[in-house]
Amino acid sequence: MNDRSSLSTPGGRRWGLTVGPVQYLWPRERLLAFYAELADSPADCIVLGEVVCARRRQMRLEDWLALGRELAQAGKQVVQATQTLVETEADLRQIERLGAETGHWVEAGDASALALLQGRVPLVLGPHINIYNHRALQEHADLGVVRWVPPVELSLEALACIQPPEHPVTGWAQQPIETEVWAFGRLPLSFSARCFTARQHGVPKDQCGFPCGDDPDGRLVRSGEGEDFLVLNGTQTQSAGVHCLLPHGTALAATGARRLRLSPQARGFGQVLTDFEAVFNQGAAAAPRMAAWADLGVPQPLVSGYAFGQAGMVSHVSLPSEMPA
């Protein structure tokens, strides 16, 4: 399955590259520097907002909206994301304000956002909205949906059946709903009202002191056998392996999708973004580019099992040193 990407698209259409929301607690200065670099990057779409924990307030809604305006002026499509775990009335009011003030598309993190925003703004169905069949996507289409990010555990074969390119579900303005595939980053597996990072530090969730800020790529958890297993990121649990579909362009193209989501990691992400552009839009080979990632600090291992209907930690990624002579 480690296919060399030959990625000519119908009509010469480019692959769209979306940078997903930062899932970790990074200091405000680091966030602003990160997005300043993205303004000159190959990404054509950037998703903004705090999606993991409402108590992380380095950036207020006004800050996200102002940042969105700056990135839009730089030529980027901007999507404002809502939280994945909505717990309070204040969280709901924040979603209401997004519907009234953003001026951009909004990515719904959970069903409450769908109820509050339907018909008011173009909606993106985030990866935590449970769309697992064609009928479910059809039922959401009338809410004003323009794009969907399939749940990360869906195989490429399955998502091609849910949104087949020959008979696509249409949404906002009767246009086909665009499919955006999670192509890079640690997989967001679950959310909890409990904060596991606070619990590990022995502090209450509501007065935690933000220990998750000490782990810019989350905190690694190993199994009893000493193998990397999961990553704790506050209320979110992620995979330890980094899901990576860089070598699987042909399989991705067969689904009809033409947009990829890259989820930020703390180190080496700029090079990752450059490499996805080179492979998917310029015809470069994937393996030599991935070989340099470990030295840049990109978390390892690289995995891709879910994309092919297997356990998520299974890898179909072979680096040059691992390939048979």
Name the binding residues: 53, 195, 208, 212
Return binding residues for [4Fe-4S] cluster: 53, 195, 208, 212
User: Can you tell me which residue has the tokens 């991935």?
Assistant: 290
Residue 83 vs residues 60, 129, 159, 179: alpha-carbon distances, Å:
13, 12, 24, 21
- Residue 56 · residue 25 · CB < 8 Å: yes
Rounded Cα gap, residues 280 and 47, in angstroms: 20
DSSP 8-state assignment for residue 165 = T
Length, in residues, of the chain = 325
Decide: residue 60, CB within 10 A, 0-12 exposed, 13-18 middle, 19+ buried.
exposed
Task: Give the span between the Cα atoms of 142 and 160, in whole angstroms.
Answer: 20
Q: Can you tell me the distance from the alpha carbon of 140 to that of 163, in angstroms, rounded to the nearest whole number?
A: 13
Residue 245 is encoded by which pair of tokens? 């579909």
Question: Could you tell me the CA-to-CA distances from 301 to 5, 124, 258, 270 in Å, in that order?
Answer: 21, 30, 26, 18
Token pair for 61: 């809604």
C-alpha 195/C-alpha 237 separation (Å) is 10
Q: What DSSP assignment string belongs to 36-72?
A: HHHTTSS-SEEEES--S-TT--SS-HHHHHHHHHHHH
Is residue 287 within 8 A of residue 294, CB to CB? The reply is: no
